[in-house]
A and B are shown apart, each in its own frame.
Chain A
Amino acid sequence: MIEYLFLLLGIILMITGSIGVIRFPDVYTRLHASTKCDTGGAMSILIALAIVAEAPLLIKIKFLILAFLIAMINPMIAHAIARGAHKSGIEPVGIIDMYARDGF
Protein backbone atom coordinates (compact mmCIF):
# COMPACT_ATOMS: atom_id res chain seq x y z
CA MET A 1 0.00 0.00 0.00
CA ILE A 2 2.74 2.44 0.93
CA GLU A 3 4.50 2.00 -2.42
CA TYR A 4 1.52 3.50 -4.24
CA LEU A 5 1.67 6.53 -1.94
CA PHE A 6 5.36 6.96 -2.84
CA LEU A 7 4.47 6.57 -6.54
CA LEU A 8 1.70 9.20 -6.32
CA LEU A 9 4.06 11.62 -4.54
CA GLY A 10 6.67 11.07 -7.24
CA ILE A 11 4.23 11.69 -10.09
CA ILE A 12 2.90 14.89 -8.48
CA LEU A 13 6.45 16.18 -7.93
CA MET A 14 7.43 15.38 -11.53
CA ILE A 15 4.43 17.26 -12.98
CA THR A 16 4.93 20.34 -10.77
CA GLY A 17 8.64 20.42 -11.56
CA SER A 18 7.99 20.36 -15.30
CA ILE A 19 5.39 23.13 -15.04
CA GLY A 20 7.84 25.19 -12.99
CA VAL A 21 10.63 24.77 -15.56
CA ILE A 22 8.25 25.91 -18.31
CA ARG A 23 6.64 28.83 -16.47
CA PHE A 24 9.36 30.50 -14.35
CA PRO A 25 11.00 33.63 -15.79
CA ASP A 26 14.66 33.14 -14.93
CA VAL A 27 17.57 30.69 -14.96
CA TYR A 28 17.87 30.51 -11.18
CA THR A 29 14.17 30.01 -10.48
CA ARG A 30 14.06 27.36 -13.21
CA LEU A 31 16.99 25.61 -11.51
CA HIS A 32 15.09 25.77 -8.22
CA ALA A 33 12.00 24.11 -9.69
CA SER A 34 13.96 21.57 -11.71
CA THR A 35 16.31 20.37 -8.99
CA LYS A 36 13.95 20.21 -6.05
CA CYS A 37 10.99 18.62 -7.78
CA ASP A 38 12.99 16.33 -10.06
CA THR A 39 15.23 14.96 -7.30
CA GLY A 40 12.30 14.38 -4.95
CA GLY A 41 10.15 12.75 -7.61
CA ALA A 42 12.91 10.46 -8.86
CA MET A 43 13.82 9.33 -5.34
CA SER A 44 10.16 8.68 -4.48
CA ILE A 45 9.56 6.57 -7.60
CA LEU A 46 12.79 4.60 -7.02
CA ILE A 47 11.92 3.89 -3.37
CA ALA A 48 8.48 2.68 -4.51
CA LEU A 49 10.17 0.38 -7.07
CA ALA A 50 12.57 -0.95 -4.43
CA ILE A 51 9.62 -1.79 -2.16
CA VAL A 52 7.41 -3.42 -4.80
CA ALA A 53 10.00 -5.39 -6.83
CA GLU A 54 9.74 -9.18 -6.49
CA ALA A 55 13.46 -9.76 -6.75
CA PRO A 56 16.41 -10.78 -4.56
CA LEU A 57 17.86 -8.36 -2.08
CA LEU A 58 20.73 -7.30 -4.34
CA ILE A 59 18.27 -5.86 -6.92
CA LYS A 60 16.48 -3.80 -4.26
CA ILE A 61 19.84 -2.51 -3.04
CA LYS A 62 20.62 -1.52 -6.64
CA PHE A 63 17.42 0.58 -6.80
CA LEU A 64 18.40 2.25 -3.51
CA ILE A 65 21.94 2.87 -4.83
CA LEU A 66 20.40 4.62 -7.85
CA ALA A 67 18.26 6.80 -5.55
CA PHE A 68 21.33 7.64 -3.43
CA LEU A 69 23.34 8.60 -6.54
CA ILE A 70 20.52 10.87 -7.75
CA ALA A 71 20.39 12.53 -4.32
CA MET A 72 24.15 13.13 -4.43
CA ILE A 73 24.65 14.11 -8.08
CA ASN A 74 21.62 16.26 -9.01
CA PRO A 75 22.10 19.15 -6.50
CA MET A 76 25.82 19.24 -7.37
CA ILE A 77 25.00 19.80 -11.06
CA ALA A 78 22.46 22.50 -10.16
CA HIS A 79 25.06 24.28 -8.01
CA ALA A 80 27.62 24.15 -10.83
CA ILE A 81 25.14 25.50 -13.41
CA ALA A 82 24.07 28.36 -11.11
CA ARG A 83 27.73 29.26 -10.42
CA GLY A 84 28.56 29.25 -14.11
CA ALA A 85 25.54 31.35 -15.00
CA HIS A 86 26.36 33.91 -12.31
CA LYS A 87 30.02 34.15 -13.29
CA SER A 88 29.04 34.49 -16.94
CA GLY A 89 27.10 37.66 -16.15
CA ILE A 90 23.44 36.66 -16.28
CA GLU A 91 21.38 38.89 -14.01
CA PRO A 92 18.35 37.60 -12.07
CA VAL A 93 15.02 39.00 -13.25
CA GLY A 94 13.35 39.42 -9.88
CA ILE A 95 15.04 41.98 -7.61
CA ILE A 96 14.06 42.03 -3.94
CA ASP A 97 14.25 45.57 -2.56
CA MET A 98 13.33 45.45 1.10
CA TYR A 99 13.91 49.18 1.75
CA ALA A 100 11.47 50.20 -0.97
CA ARG A 101 8.92 47.73 0.37
CA ASP A 102 9.14 49.17 3.87
CA GLY A 103 8.86 52.77 2.62
CA PHE A 104 12.22 54.28 3.52
Chain B
Amino acid sequence: MVKEYILVSPFTLALFIVLFTSVILIYRLMVGPTTPDRIVGFNTISTKITIVIALLAFLKNEYLLIDLAIVLLMMNALGSLILAKHFEKGGAS
Protein backbone atom coordinates (compact mmCIF):
# COMPACT_ATOMS: atom_id res chain seq x y z
CA MET B 1 0.00 0.00 0.00
CA VAL B 2 1.53 3.26 -1.15
CA LYS B 3 1.11 6.10 1.31
CA GLU B 4 -0.19 9.13 -0.51
CA TYR B 5 1.78 12.32 0.03
CA ILE B 6 -0.43 14.77 1.86
CA LEU B 7 0.27 17.88 -0.20
CA VAL B 8 -0.86 16.29 -3.48
CA SER B 9 -4.44 15.64 -2.41
CA PRO B 10 -7.19 17.94 -3.75
CA PHE B 11 -8.52 18.24 -0.21
CA THR B 12 -5.31 20.08 0.76
CA LEU B 13 -6.03 22.56 -2.02
CA ALA B 14 -9.54 22.97 -0.61
CA LEU B 15 -8.04 23.60 2.85
CA PHE B 16 -5.76 26.35 1.55
CA ILE B 17 -8.58 27.97 -0.43
CA VAL B 18 -10.86 28.01 2.62
CA LEU B 19 -8.06 29.53 4.72
CA PHE B 20 -7.47 32.20 2.04
CA THR B 21 -11.17 33.16 1.94
CA SER B 22 -11.26 33.41 5.73
CA VAL B 23 -8.23 35.71 5.59
CA ILE B 24 -10.11 37.87 3.06
CA LEU B 25 -13.11 38.05 5.43
CA ILE B 26 -10.99 39.62 8.19
CA TYR B 27 -11.43 42.87 6.18
CA ARG B 28 -15.18 42.79 6.88
CA LEU B 29 -14.52 41.97 10.53
CA MET B 30 -12.18 44.95 10.99
CA VAL B 31 -13.67 47.77 8.93
CA GLY B 32 -17.38 46.87 8.96
CA PRO B 33 -19.39 50.10 9.23
CA THR B 34 -21.90 48.80 11.78
CA THR B 35 -21.87 46.14 14.48
CA PRO B 36 -24.02 43.50 12.62
CA ASP B 37 -21.45 43.58 9.80
CA ARG B 38 -18.80 42.52 12.26
CA ILE B 39 -21.10 39.78 13.62
CA VAL B 40 -21.63 38.49 10.05
CA GLY B 41 -17.88 38.37 9.43
CA PHE B 42 -17.25 36.61 12.74
CA ASN B 43 -19.92 33.99 12.09
CA THR B 44 -18.65 33.25 8.58
CA ILE B 45 -15.03 32.94 9.73
CA SER B 46 -16.07 30.54 12.53
CA THR B 47 -17.96 28.30 10.10
CA LYS B 48 -14.93 28.24 7.79
CA ILE B 49 -12.65 27.29 10.71
CA THR B 50 -15.03 24.39 11.46
CA ILE B 51 -14.60 23.17 7.88
CA VAL B 52 -10.81 23.53 8.20
CA ILE B 53 -10.85 21.33 11.33
CA ALA B 54 -12.95 18.67 9.54
CA LEU B 55 -10.56 18.69 6.55
CA LEU B 56 -7.58 18.31 8.91
CA ALA B 57 -9.31 15.37 10.62
CA PHE B 58 -9.56 13.67 7.23
CA LEU B 59 -6.05 14.57 6.03
CA LYS B 60 -4.21 13.60 9.21
CA ASN B 61 -6.35 10.46 9.88
CA GLU B 62 -7.18 11.66 13.39
CA TYR B 63 -10.94 11.43 13.58
CA LEU B 64 -11.05 12.70 17.15
CA LEU B 65 -10.98 16.21 15.68
CA ILE B 66 -14.56 15.88 14.36
CA ASP B 67 -15.88 16.10 17.90
CA LEU B 68 -13.89 19.31 18.34
CA ALA B 69 -15.47 20.66 15.15
CA ILE B 70 -18.97 19.89 16.47
CA VAL B 71 -18.20 21.62 19.78
CA LEU B 72 -16.75 24.67 17.98
CA LEU B 73 -19.86 24.89 15.79
CA MET B 74 -22.14 24.85 18.86
CA MET B 75 -20.03 27.51 20.60
CA ASN B 76 -20.19 29.65 17.45
CA ALA B 77 -23.99 29.31 17.39
CA LEU B 78 -24.29 30.27 21.06
CA GLY B 79 -21.98 33.28 20.76
CA SER B 80 -23.56 34.69 17.63
CA LEU B 81 -27.09 34.18 18.98
CA ILE B 82 -26.25 35.94 22.25
CA LEU B 83 -24.64 38.84 20.35
CA ALA B 84 -27.70 39.16 18.09
CA LYS B 85 -30.14 39.11 21.02
CA HIS B 86 -28.04 41.67 22.91
CA PHE B 87 -28.02 43.85 19.82
CA GLU B 88 -31.79 43.51 19.48
CA LYS B 89 -32.40 44.94 22.94
CA GLY B 90 -30.46 48.06 21.99
CA GLY B 91 -27.35 47.28 23.96
CA ALA B 92 -24.83 48.38 21.35
CA SER B 93 -25.50 50.94 18.67
Binding site for B on A (CB under 8 A): 4, 7, 10-11, 14-15, 17-18, 21-22, 27, 30-31, 34, 38-39, 41-42, 45-46, 49, 52-53, 55, 59, 62-63, 65-66, 69-70, 73-74, 76-78, 80-81, 83-85, 87-88, 90
* Chain B 57-93 interface 0/1 with A at a Cβ cutoff of 8 Å (1 = within): 0100001001101100110110011001101101001
Interface size counted on chain B using CB atoms at 8 A: 44
Contact partner, A21, options B44, B54, B67, B87, Cβ 8 Å: B44
User: Judging by beta carbons under 8 Å apart, are A38 and B47 in contact?
Assistant: yes
User: Judging by beta carbons under 8 Å apart, are B21 and A14 in contact?
Assistant: yes
Q: How many angstroms from the CA of A50 to the CA of B81 in the assembled complex?
A: 28
Give the chain B neighbours of A15 by CB distance below 8 A: 17, 21
A-B contact count (CB 8 A): 133
Give the chain B neighbours of A42 by CB distance below 8 A: 47-48, 50-51
